[in-house]
Amino acid sequence: MFSFQYNFPPDTLNLIDHYEAQTRAAHQTLTGEKMPMTGWLQHPARISEEELSRITETAAQIRDKNDAFVLIGIGGSYIGARACIELLDNHNANKNIDFYYAGFNLSGAYHSALKETLHDKDFTICVVSKSGTTMETAMTFTYFKTLLKERYGARYAEHIYVVTDEMDGLLRREAEEEGYTTFALDKNIGGRYSVLTSVGLLPAAVAGYDINKIIAGAQAAIDAFGSSSLNDNDCLKYAVLRRIAEERLEKHIEIFSAFEPRFSSFLEWLKQLFGESEGKDQKGIYPTSLLYTRDLHAMGQFLQQGRPGFFESIFSVRPKDHAHPFDIQNDIVCRAVKKARADNSTPICTFYFDEINEYAFGYAAYFFEKACAVSCLLTGVNPFDQPGVEVYKAEVKRLSKELLQNDPS
Ligand code: PA5
């Protein structure tokens, strides 16, 4: 769990109450069950014991039979799982399996190096794609499926796990025809809101984490952040502070910064969640990330004295009694950074984790998914679509067709 603190210039704080009615309305719209693509809101409360056991048992079988696991996906269909696994990495996991990611880039060098790494390992792939048609994922799936066929012959299908739409799509059809093991993603849950479903839970379980605890953390967050009243709900308060930062203080950039390297992919997940949800209709706060103390010796200069168009959301872990001297020093630096920013009138939100574990991950993931959706509704944009992404995709299709016509080989 974490505590949420904020330090905004004093004259802006009385503005919070001005957002009360607007926030209540946004929260009611989100939770009113009429809004499409909100299945993730209650999913952690509704996921069955059977589903959780099936994921855990499948993961145990994957770990028993393989040396390596390759997670294939992009965007919301991959970064949440990676965020979870890397955040928990220091925590007690009994991985017993090498973990790789593929399909989130189109580098030939990256994928052939991965193929080479796998040459003497028994491996399984897990393909995650809601639509089943994403180009990067489809191309990478074909690449590793060929390798599995060469390696395991007719038994190749035993090494393929698929998470995709519960009914539709090419991937769903292929999985059923070829007999891959599948997990269904609800129609009503989009990629970037899917980390607390089998999309994030299966890879987390393969990595050795207790998904029941992740879900317990998310369930606690459903209760903790269920109120429509701004004063009782930190999740709504954070969404409103983002609005105040942008609308009243002209802060158009949010810097997510962390003092632990294991937060690196978590910050990438936040960027993906907020960027793809909020950046539309010529609106939105641009999310970016920094890792401290590394970036204090680079961007630290800019943040203190450069163009002040940003606010900062800081992630830190409270040092325990008898903490490692590095952790004690890290906490001193965190406090010093907060003081320096405050002296400079930079608005800051702080998420102070007591501990990093599965429960805390589930809790935090739910908090940010909900805060993001509310923030979008306050901005007046749909949190759940991504029409801008289609623009470059259409051009990719056109260019690929042109290439095929000119060189059919
Ligand atoms: O968050 C999103 O909706 C997107 O980032 C998708 O997850 C991403 O485009 C991959 O889509 P799909 O799961 O259909 O392959």
Interval 377-394: pLDDT, tens: 999 999 999 999 888 888
Q: Is residue 388 part of a domain?
A: no
Q: Is the CB of 304 under 6 A from ligand 1?
A: no
The predicted pLDDT at position 91 comes to 59
| Type and span of the H or E element at 5 | strand 2-7
Please write the tens of the pLDDT for every residue from 268-278.
Answer: 999 999 999 99
pLDDT tens for each residue of 232-260: 999 999 999 999 999 999 999 999 999 99
- Cβ atoms of 162 and 127 within 8 Å: the answer is yes
Which of 171, 188, 209 is the C-terminal boundary of a domain?
A: 209
> What domain count does the chain have?
2
State yes or no: is 297 an active-site residue. Answer: yes
- Burial (CB count within 10 angstroms: exposed 0-12, middle 13-18, buried 19+), residue 282: exposed
Residue 159 annotated as catalytic: no
CA of residue 253 to ligand 1 center, whole Å: 24
95 pLDDT more than 80: no
Residues 84 and 185 in one domain: yes
Tell me what pLDDT residue 397 has. Answer: 84
Query: Which pTM value belongs to this model?
Result: 0.96
Same domain, 257 and 348: yes
Question: Side by side, which strands form the sheet with 68-72?
Answer: 98-102, 68-72, 123-129, 160-165, 181-185
Identify whether the C-beta of residue 41 lies closer than 8 Å to the C-beta of residue 27.
Answer: no
Q: Would you say residue 92 has pLDDT above 60?
A: no
- 310's CB contacts (< 8 A; 6+ apart) are 251, 252, 253, 254, 255, 303, 346
Report d(CA 181, CA 198) in Å as an integer: 13
350 in ligand 1 pocket by Cβ < 6 Å? no
Q: Which atom of ligand 1 is nearest to the CA of 273?
A: 1
Q: Is the CB of 129 under 6 A from ligand 1?
A: yes
> Whole domain around residue 225: which residue ranges?
2-33+216-379
Measured CA to CA, the distance from residue 47 to residue 346 in angstroms comes to 41
Q: Is 393 a catalytic residue?
A: yes
- Whose alpha carbon is nearest atom 3 of ligand 1? 191
In a domain, 391, yes or no: no
Ramachandran region, residue 350 (left: φ > 0; alpha: ψ -120 to 50; beta: rest): beta
Mean pLDDT of 56-66: 96
Q: Which among 18, 393, 397, 401 is annotated as catalytic?
A: 393
Residue 61 belongs to some domain of the structure: yes
CA atoms within 13 A on the CB side of 399: 6
The rounded distance, in Å, linking the Cα atoms of 273 and 248 is 23
Percent of the chain with pLDDT over 90: 88
Per-residue model confidence (pLDDT) at position 225: 98
Predicted local distance difference test score (pLDDT) of residue 295: 97
- Strand boundaries in 39-152, DSSP class E: 68-72, 98-102, 123-129
- Alpha carbon distance 132, 251 (integer Å): 38
Residue 192 Cα: closest atom of ligand 1? 1
What does the mean pLDDT of the chain come to? Answer: 95
Identify the three-state secondary structure at position 407.
coil
Same domain, yes or no: 69 and 203: yes
Question: Are 179 and 318 within one domain?
Answer: no
What does the angle CA 368 – CA 373 – CA 377 come to, to the nearest 5 degrees? 145
Helix (H, G, I), strand (E, B) or coil at 33: coil
Is 345 a domain residue? Answer: yes
Domain match, 193 and 56 both: yes
Higher confidence at residue 199 or residue 1?
Answer: 199
